[in-house]
Every structure is written in C-alpha cells, then in structure tokens.
C-alpha cells in the first residue's frame, strides 16, 4: 500500500532499501507511519525538522560478542545487542530478550515500538531494547549466571541509571536481572537503579512482576467500558503464552470476573474449559520451568495439543476476549477469521506485535475492539519507571500505591488514545490513537531540542 504523503513514502522507501532484510522492523514502522498520515498533513514542521527520518533511525546500535563457558568447560559464543533508539523524552528504557530468534530486525522493531509505548505512559523514558540469540532452554543456573555476567561485562559500558535502563523481556526474569545486576555492581562499585525488575531485597518495586499482565487487563477493562459498554465479568478469555505476561494476565482476569481457558508455550497449548489452574501454572512454569505437558498431566480437565507448524491452536477456541501474550506474529489472518467467527468482541495485545497487519485489518473491519501492544502492554515499562522513581528517592512504595498508579496510567492511555484518534477524525481507533498520542510528545521534544550541525 502506498502512503498518501510523499514525505512518508520517501522516508519509508529509503528505510526499506537500507534494511530490506529487517522484516519485523519494517512491519512495525509501516504501521506507525500509516497512522501518522493526518498528523504529517496537518504539521509541516515535522518535515522541516526531519522528524520522521530521524525517528526511524536508532540513535545508536551496539552489537557485541558474548563469550562464556558452559558446564562442560567448552567456550560458547553468542551475539549481544543493545539498540538505543530515542532519548528525546528520557533515558533509553526497554527490555532484554534472550531467545534463539533474536536478531537485529527483532531488536529494532522492539526498540522502535518502545519509543511510543514509553511516551504513552506519560513518564520520562526514552526507547531502547536489547538481548541476545542465547537460548536459555536446558541451561543450568550456573550457565545462565555465566552468560548473564559475560553479557553485562560488555553492556555495562553503555548503560547507566541516567543513560539507559534495561529490564526483562522473553527469557529474562528476576533470576537473570539479579545475575546482571550483581555483575554491574561488581564492575562499577556503585548501587544504582541501572536495571528494573530487580528483586524486592535490592531495589525492586512491588507490582513490577505482575505489572504487564495486570496492566493489560486494566487497559482492556477500560476500553471495554468506553467502547463496548461491558467488562470482564462472565467472559471467556483465550490467552496465549505461559510466561510472565500470560500468568499475571490470567491472574487479573480471574480477579475481574472472567474465565481464562487457554495458555500456550513454545511446544504446545492447553484448553482447560473449567478455567486455567493458576497455582498449577505458576508451579510448572515459574518454579519448575517445565513444559505445559506437566500441567496437563496434573490436571484431568485440561486438553493438551502439541504445536503444529504454522498453526496457533489457542485462537480456535470459542472465546469473548483474546489476549495474545507470547510473541510477535503469533496471530495471523486465519486466526483472526476463526476468532471473529467464534464471536470475539475484544483482542488486546500483551505481547509485542503479536497480530499480523492482516489480522489487525480483519478485526477493524469486523468491529472487534483492538488494543495494540504499545498501549495495552505498557504497564510493565510504566511500573519500571515507577521503580526508577523509587530508586532515585531511595524509598519503597506499598503494593497498593504502585497498583493504583498503574491503574491510573492504563486508564489514561485508553483516554489519551481515544482523544488523539478523535482529534484526527478516526474516532474509536485505538491503533491510530496510540501511535499518534505516543508520537506527538516525542516529536515535540525532538523539535524543541534542535538538530546538531
């Protein structure tokens, strides 16, 4: 599809020719630029100040070797990444992903999305992302520790509490953040808030563990109220993933009166018509780090389905609300068709870019409430920013205090998105609204700070 604006077309064509192989990155950029058509048309300063060509280019890309020693004493080498995308409104902020599929395209798409997500939180954080193609599966605690230490030995040179503050993402939770924090402190001899998602004994914030999943449900609840005049109570909810985001989304769905009936991991998926057994899921995934086959073995009411190539079985289950919480492009046009035929009323994204553009288009056409990732999953990074505030003032807030702030932020994102969409003639469009509201603040800050020459 062509852009209406020749400026947007020129910037996108240039980006595409320079990064032809970075398909995930181009997918994320295209979606944002499409939403910006009316903004660019109404504001000639954006072209004058080169805002679009600057915002799609990372300020800095750091690519490094991570060598570490496995339990057999053998040297292993992985690739490490940190993309410092935009610092117009605050220090670079965003997670670290450890997964064999990590490459520059994946980290750039995540870093680009993070710019607008972080802006939507209303807190002062810029956009960044990092990670490695290291595969944590099957590694011992000691191997994870040695990898995290080797990774931080290089990353340490580029980050800092006022420069760039990483956190978790796929494959990085409390255990990994602890190992990385220990290594940073050893190397620098300073105790600062350089990472978020830290343990509660050494500067972590209450609610950070739950924040992305809880925030997703607060966002969905508010959007359901505003656009569909309903809520979670009595609703059947399909969730994908079985990691940090999925688990705490499931927990909050129950608290809000819904019934989560599915979850999935990289090898299969569960349909549990009586509702997912949350304690069992936590035991299998958080404590024992096992596969969902162990969940099925302990739960007679659950059906386990092995993952089939090209299929995402969770979306074939009849549900009212779908919350994709695993990974990018895990919900395609065919999945969207099944969900729509089964009467889904809302799809809100816990993962980053889980729906393909064709799936998003199908939801839009069918009048399904669609909450895009950069808005719906912003609760994690918002609570990270609250952790940074607590670290700066060397204070510790209560669970209730942080949770209340999180709820306010998620509701605010729904309203700011709806207002921005309406301002540009796209009433009710949460995708365009999130992209525009996130963009406007960053663009204004970039214009105010000038161009170096």
Catalytic positions, written as ranges:
129
Site for ligand 2IT (CB under 6 A): which residue of 57, 143, 164, 169? 169
**Segment 325-354, which members bind ligand 2IT (CB under 6 A)?**
352
Using CB positions, name the residue nearest to ligand 2IT. Answer: 95
Could you tell me the end-to-end alpha-carbon distance of the chain, in angstroms, rounded to an integer? 35
Instruction: Tell me how far, at minimum, the Cβ of 330 lies from ligand NDP, in Å.
Output: 6
Closer to ligand NDP by CB, 11 or 346: give it: 346
Per partner kind, with CB cut-offs from 5 to 8 A, the member of ligand 2IT, ligand NDP, none near residue 94 is ligand 2IT
Q: Which residues contact 416 (CB under 8 A, 6 or more apart)?
A: 120, 122, 433, 437
Q: What one-character DSSP code corresponds to residue 201?
A: G
Q: Which stretch binds ligand 2IT (CB under 6 A): 258-266, 311-319, 380-388, 414-422?
A: 380-388
How many positions of this chain bind ligand 2IT (CB under 6 A)?
11
Footprint on this chain of ligand NDP (rule: CB under 6 A): 99, 101, 168-171, 173, 212, 241-246, 265-267, 325-327, 350-352, 377, 380
CA distances from 363 to 8, 276, 338, 369 (A): 25, 26, 11, 7
Instruction: Tell me how far, at minimum, the Cβ of 294 lies from ligand NDP, in Å.
Output: 11
Q: Which residues contact 293 (CB under 8 A, 6 or more apart)?
A: 267, 268, 304
Instruction: Tell me how far, at minimum, the Cβ of 140 lies from ligand NDP, in Å.
Output: 17
Per partner kind, with CB cut-offs from 5 to 8 A, the member of ligand NDP, ligand 2IT, none near residue 35 is none
**Segment 91-120, which members bind ligand 2IT (CB under 6 A)?**
93-95, 117
| Whole-angstrom distance, CA of residue 211 vs CA of residue 86 | 23
Closer to ligand NDP by CB, 135 or 154: give it: 135
- Other C-beta atoms closer than 10 Å to the C-beta of 227 total 18
Site for ligand 2IT (CB under 6 A): which residue of 381, 410, 420, 436? 381
Q: Which residues contact 374 (CB under 8 A, 6 or more apart)?
A: 113, 114, 116, 117, 120, 352, 434, 435, 438
* Tokens matching residue 173: 């939770």
| Whole-angstrom distance, CA of residue 387 vs CA of residue 412 | 19
The residue to which tokens 């595409």 are assigned: 16
Per partner kind, with CB cut-offs from 5 to 8 A, the member of ligand 2IT, ligand NDP, none near residue 19 is none
| Whole-angstrom distance, CA of residue 412 vs CA of residue 118 | 13
Contact set with ligand 2IT (CB under 6 A)? 93-95, 117, 167, 169, 196, 352, 380-381, 384
């Amino acid at each position: 599809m062509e852009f209406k604006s020749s400026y947007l077309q020129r910037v996108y064509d240039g980006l595409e020719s320079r990064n032809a192989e970075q398909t995930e990155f181009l997918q994320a950029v295209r979606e944002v630029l499409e939403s910006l058509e009316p903004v660019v048309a109404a504001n000639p300063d954006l072209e004058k100040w080169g805002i679009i060509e600057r915002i799609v280019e990372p300020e800095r890309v750091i690519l490094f070797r991570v060598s570490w020693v496995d339990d057999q004493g053998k040297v292993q080498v992985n690739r490490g990444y940190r993309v410092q995308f935009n610092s117009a409104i605050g220090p670079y902020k965003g997670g670290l992903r450890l997964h064999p599929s990590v490459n520059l395209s994946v980290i750039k798409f995540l870093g680009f999305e993070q710019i607008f997500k972080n802006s939507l939180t209303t807190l002062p954080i810029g956009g960044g992302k990092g990670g490695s193609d290291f595969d944590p599966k099957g590694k011992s605690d000691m191997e994870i520790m040695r990898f995290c230490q080797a990774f931080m030995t290089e990353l340490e040179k580029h980050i800092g509490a006022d420069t760039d503050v990483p956190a978790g993402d796929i494959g990085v939770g409390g255990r990994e953040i602890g190992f990385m924090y220990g290594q940073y402190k050893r190397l620098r001899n300073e105790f600062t808030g350089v990472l978020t998602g830290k343990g509660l004994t050494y500067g972590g914030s209450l609610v950070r563990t739950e924040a992305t999943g809880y925030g997703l449900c607060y966002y969905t609840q508010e959007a359901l109220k505003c656009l569909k005049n309903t809520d979670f109570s009595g609703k059947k909810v399909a969730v994908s993933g079985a990691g940090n985001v999925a688990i705490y989304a499931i927990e909050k769905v129950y608290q809000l009166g819904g019934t989560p009936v599915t979850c999935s991991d990289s090898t299969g998926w569960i349909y549990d018509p009586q509702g997912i057994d949350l304690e069992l899921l936590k035991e299998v995934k958080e404590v024992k780090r096992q596969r969902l086959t162990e969940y099925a073995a302990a739960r007679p009411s659950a059906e386990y389905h092995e993952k089939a190539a090209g299929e995402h079985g969770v979306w074939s289950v009849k549900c009212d609300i779908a919350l994709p919480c695993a990974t990018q492009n895990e919900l395609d046009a065919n999945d969207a068709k099944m969900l729509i035929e089964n009467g889904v009323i809302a799809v809100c994204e816990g993962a980053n870019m889980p729906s393909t553009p064709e799936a998003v288009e199908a939801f839009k056409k069918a009048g399904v409430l669609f909450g895009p990732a950069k808005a719906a999953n912003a609760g994690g990074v918002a609570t990270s920013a609250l952790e940074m505030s607590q670290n700066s003032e060397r204070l510790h807030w209560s669970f209730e205090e942080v949770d209340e702030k999180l709820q306010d932020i998620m509701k605010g994102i729904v309203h700011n998105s709806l207002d921005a969409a309406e301002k540009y003639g796209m009433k009710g469009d949460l995708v365009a609204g999130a992209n525009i509201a996130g963009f406007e603040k960053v663009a204004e800050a970039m214009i105010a700070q000038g161009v170096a020459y």
